[in-house]
Structure 1
Amino acid sequence: MSAAIDAVRDAFRELAAGNFVLPARQIFGDGTVLVMSAYHSPSGTAVVKKIGIALDQVPAIRATVIWTGGGEQLVADGSSITTLRTGAVVGVATDLLAPADASRLTLIGTGAQAPDQVRAVLAVRRIAAVTVTGRSADRAAALSTSLTAEFPDVKFTPSTSVDDAIADADIVCCATSSSTPLFEADALPERVHVNAIGAFRPTMRELPRDLLTTASIVIVDQREAALEESGEIIDAVTSGALSTEDLLELGPALSQPLEPTGRTVFKSVGIGPQDWAIAAALAKA
C-alpha cells in the first residue's frame, strides 16, 4: 500500500503538470459498464480499463486493465487494481488533510473497497482504533476479524450505528453505494477528515450537502469528473450551495500551502492516472 500511495501521488503531480491526456470516462447502460483511459505523454505509455458493475452481486465490480508501452503490454485484474488505487488515493488525500495526531478511524461500508481504505489510512497515520460500520452486523464483525489478523496492534470494533461510530472519529472513510447521505454533518466532530469514494453516479450520495458547504477544504480528484459523476458534488453545486471554485483538485493541492482546519473532505470518483500509476508500477516489477 505504501508503494501504491507513492505511485498515485506522483501520478497526480504528473496530471497537474499537464503530462496526461485524459479522455472523459465512457459510461454505458446507466453506469453498468465503464471504460476509462489515460495516456502519459513523457513515457509514451497508456492504460485502458473496462469495468462491469453489478451492485447486487459479489463482487460488485469486475474489471480488466491493459497497460501498454515500449512494445510491451500488461493485462491485469482490474478489480484488484481498482481497490488498490482507490485506497491509495485516499491515502494521498488523508496524508494531506487529516490531523497529524489522528488516531481514530471510522470505516462506513464492508464491501470489496473497504479493506484497502483501512490499509491506506493506516499507512499514513498512527491509527490505534478503527470502527467498522455496516448495515450487516455479521459483515462488520467478519471484516473486523480479518483486519485484526492483519493489524494485531490496532483495535477493530464492529458497529451498525453510523452516528455512534463517527461521533469521536478523527478520520471517516465512506465506501458504500448509498443514494442518500450516510449521516448529518452535525453528527461529526468539529475536527475530522472525511473521505468519500463510494458514490460514482449522479444519483448516488454519501455526504450531506452541509458538510461540503461548511468544510474548510473540499478536494476532488478532478473537478470535471466530479461535476459529471459525483452525486453529492452535483447536488451542492446545482443548488448554489457550493461553487466550482470551492473545489480544489488533488494534483495542484499537493504543491499548495494548505492549512486544514475543522472539517475537511476528499471526494473521489476515480480517474485514469490512478490505474496508470498502479499498472506502470506492476510493469516495472
Structure 2
Amino acid sequence: MNTITVGEREIRDAVTIGEAIEAVRGGFVDLADGHFEMPTRTALREGQFLVMSAHHRPTSSAIVKTLSVNFDRKPAITGTVVWSETGRPDHLVADAGAVTCLRTGAAVGVATDLLAPPGAGRLTLIGAGGQAPDQVRAVHAVRPLSQLTVVDFDPQRAKSLLETLEPELEGVELFRTTDAEAAVRTAEIVCCATNATSPLFPESALPTQVHVNAIGAYLPTMRELPDELLGSSTVIVDDLAAILEESGEIIHAIAAGALTPHALTELGTALKTPTADFGKRTVFKTVGVAVQDWAIARLLAQKFLP
C-alpha cells in the first residue's frame, strides 16, 4: 500500500476554485440523489475536535476527516483528510485546513451561482480570518465583483486580507470597515465568516434584494444571522439533519417561531430545480458536511494517485 501525502501548497497549486466549485456542485446533487452514506459528524470538546466521514456508493470511495479548531492560533484549522477507494491499494492524505477552506468556499460559490441575481457584483464580507480568501474567490468566480467591502473588528487583519486578494481582483473597488450594519446596506451579496455568538447585523439593514451566505456558525451556541432574516427569506441549507443539530441560528429561529424545518430546502434539491423562483432575499446556511470534503479529495486523488 502506498500513501501519498498532499500539503497545503500542493493542494492550492493543483485545484482551482472553478474546479472545486464544479466538484462540490456534483457532490451535492449526488447527495440529493441518495448516493452517499454520510453520518452526522462527531464533535468533541465543545466542537474543538471534529470527525467527519462520507462514502460514495457509485465509486466505492470514502473519506474520513479529523481536525482540531482553535481560533486563537494560526491556522485555526489543522488535521487530515484521508481518501480511500475499494479495490485500490493507494491512499491519499491531505491537509484538512486547505481542504476545508477550499470546499467551504466552493459550496458558497455553488449557492451564490444558484441564488444571487445574475448581475450582482457588490460583496460585503464579514470576517477576515482563514476562511475569508476562498469566500471571495468563490463568489468572484460565479459573480464577477465590482466592489468588495471587508468588515472586521481588527482593521489590520482586514487590510492584510485585501492586500492578499488585490492581485486577483483587478478593477474591483476595495474597502474595509468595522461597521457591519453600514457595510451590508448596499450589498448585493453578503458572506459571513465569523465565530460570532449573536447576529452580525439587523435584518432591517439589508436591501430588499440580497443573497446572504453564512458559513461561520457550526455549533448550536454560535449565530451570525437574525431570526427576522431567516423568517423572511428563502433559506437553502447544505444538509437538513446536520443543520437542525448544529446550526445555532437555525435552531434559535425555529425555537423563536420565526422559522420551521419545512421551510428549509437542501442545496442538492435546489440545484435539481434551477428554474425555481427563490425570491428577492435568499440565504445559504452551511455548517459544512463531509460530501464537500469528499469532492475535493476526489479531485486530489485524480491528480496525485497513480
Instruction: Report the TM range for the smaller structure's normalisation.
Output: over 0.9
Find out whether 1:21 has 2:21 as its counterpart: no
Q: CA deviation at 1:210?
A: 0.3
Find out whether 1:267 has 2:275 as its counterpart: no
Instruction: Give me the whole-angstrom Cα distance separating, in 1, the residues matched to 2:276 and 2:98.
Output: 32
Counterparts in 2 of 1:141-152, with a 5 A limit?
141-152=159-170
Instruction: Give me the whole-angstrom Cα distance separating, in 1, the residues matched to 2:89 and 2:57.
Output: 15
Q: CA deviation at 1:237?
A: 1.2
Find out whether 1:100 has 2:118 as its counterpart: yes
Q: CA deviation at 1:261?
A: 2.1
Select 1:222's aligned residue among 228, 239, 250. Answer: 239
Query: Partner residue of 1:243?
Result: 260
Query: Partner residue of 2:300?
Result: 282
Query: Partner residue of 2:217?
Result: 199
Instruction: Give me the whole-angstrom Cα distance separating, in 1, the residues matched to 2:54 and 2:100.
Output: 15
Instruction: Give me the whole-angstrom Cα distance separating, in 2, the residues matched to 1:63 and 1:102.
Output: 35
Instruction: Give me the whole-angstrom Cα distance separating, in 1, the residues matched to 2:21 and 2:136.
Output: 13
Q: CA deviation at 1:72?
A: 2.0
Instruction: Give me the whole-angstrom Cα distance separating, in 2, the residues matched to 1:42 and 1:280.
Output: 13
Query: Partner residue of 1:167?
Result: 185
Tell me, what secondary structure is at the counterpart of 2:47? Answer: coil
- AA aligned opposite 2:268: G
Instruction: Give me the whole-angstrom Cα distance separating, in 2, the residues matched to 1:74 and 1:40.
Output: 16
Instruction: Give me the whole-angstrom Cα distance separating, in 2, the residues matched to 1:196 and 1:140.
Output: 18
Select 1:72's aligned residue among 90, 103, 107. Answer: 90
Find out whether 1:109 has 2:121 as its counterpart: no
Runs of at least 5 residues in structure 2 that lack an aligned partner in the other structure: 1-16
Instruction: Give me the whole-angstrom Cα distance separating, in 2, the residues matched to 1:156 and 1:61.
Output: 27
Query: Partner residue of 2:10?
Result: none
Deviates more, 1:87-96 or 1:232-241: 232-241
Instruction: Give me the whole-angstrom Cα distance separating, in 2, the residues matched to 1:57 and 1:172.
Output: 26
Q: Identity percentage over the alignment?
A: 52
Structure 2 length-normalised TM: 0.91
Instruction: Give me the whole-angstrom Cα distance separating, in 2, the residues matched to 1:262 and 1:17.
Output: 28
Q: How many residues align?
A: 284
The alignment's C-alpha RMSD in Å is 0.8
Runs of 4+ in 1 over 4 A off after TM superposition: none
Instruction: Give me the whole-angstrom Cα distance separating, in 2, the residues matched to 1:228 and 1:247.
Output: 14
Query: Partner residue of 1:6?
Result: 22
- AA aligned opposite 2:45: G
Query: Partner residue of 1:50?
Result: 66
Q: CA deviation at 1:240?
A: 2.2
Counterparts in 2 of 1:30-49, with a 5 A limit?
30-49=46-65
Q: CA deviation at 1:102?
A: 0.2
Instruction: Give me the whole-angstrom Cα distance separating, in 2, the residues matched to 1:49 and 1:228.
Output: 19
Find out whether 1:89 has 2:127 as its counterpart: no
Runs of at least 5 residues in structure 1 that lack an aligned partner in the other structure: none
Instruction: Give me the whole-angstrom Cα distance separating, in 2, the residues matched to 1:14 and 1:71.
Output: 25
Select 2:200's aligned residue among 179, 182, 188. Answer: 182
Q: CA deviation at 1:168?
A: 0.3
